Amino acid sequence: MSTTASTRTPLSPTPRSTVTRLKDRARTDRADLDAVLDAGLICHLGVVLGGSPVVLPTVYGRDGDTIYLHGSTGAGNMRAACTGDISLAVTHVDGLVYARSAMHFSMNYRSAVVRGRPVEITDPDQRLHALQVIVEHAAPGSWDRVRPPSKKELAATIVLALDLTEASVKIRNGGPGDDPSDIATGGVWAGVLPLQQTWGTPIPSPDLDPGIETPTTVLDRTTAAPAMV
């Protein structure tokens, strides 16, 4: 989604979204936040249910400084998200960092964490826009190709908008951060084992009509390397 970075608020404007641990990994540029969010397929959504937290994976989409979420009207976590604060995180693991000591093992990652009070979207046009953003986030080029949501489907769906005001980004890359004494002692292998996500070959649905070709927007993902970065 296109955004104009120069006119946007820097990250961490509130105390509770300011990164307090391992600050050298924090970024304050909204472009970093956008990139991490846009590269993800799912987020992990946290709500408070009956006084206790519950974390569930779910899809999402970003449009400027807004995250859209959707879910069934029958889902307890979505109903909780209509009336309370939520948090969501999107994390990419890019590699495993092998260190010379147990406590310095780490991962290379890109992680975005958002907190806030979502707003339930009730305007029909805005709901359709939000669902389009979510579908296009996961499967670019698909919305205009497929049947739009029916009235019945829409009636069973909660759509939420979460503002990206309270958001933080952490990015770690590079090799192990071993203690100088462990490096001096030597003798232990240390390094990074990179991890990548790649799309495989599309598998057409078995009940697909003959002659329907795989869309370019699907095929293009399999040739972009590496996916998700």
Q: Site residues for its own copies, window 116-135 (CB under 8 A)?
A: 131-132, 135
> Is residue 223 close enough to count as binding its own copies by CB under 8 A?
no
Q: Convert 57-72 to b/e letters by CB count within 10 Å (16 or more is b).
A: ebbbbbbebbbbbbbe
3-state secondary structure 105-119: CEEEEEEEEEEECCE
CB nearer its own copies, residue 64 or residue 76: 76
143 binds its own copies (CB under 8 A): yes
The reply on whether position 139 binds its own copies by CB under 8 A is yes
Min separation Cβ 9 and its own copies, Å: 20
Quick one: 153 exposed, middle or buried, by C-beta within 10 A (0-12, 13-18, 19+)?
exposed
DSSP lists the bridge partners of residue 66 as 63, 163
Using CB under 8 A as the binding criterion, the count of chain residues that bind its own copies stands at 99
Dihedral (CA of 214, 125, 118, 120) sign: negative
List the one residue from 38, 173, 204, 229 that touches its own copies (CB under 8 A).
Answer: 204
Q: Does 1 bind its own copies (CB under 8 A)?
A: no
88 binds its own copies (CB under 8 A): yes
Binding to its own copies in span 95-114, by CB under 8 A: 95-96, 98-103, 105, 107, 109, 111, 113
Structure tokens at 46: 């946290």
39 contacts its own copies (rule: CB under 8 A): no
Structure tokens at 175: 């090799």
Q: Which of 10, 23, 125, 212 binds its own copies (CB under 8 A)?
A: 212
96, 180 Cβ separation under 8 angstroms: no
Binding its own copies (rule: CB under 8 A), the pick from 48, 120, 163, 165 is: 48
State the amino acid at position 42 in one-letter form.
I
Only one of the segments 6-14, 24-32, 118-126, 177-185 lies at the binding site for its own copies (rule: CB under 8 A); that segment is 177-185
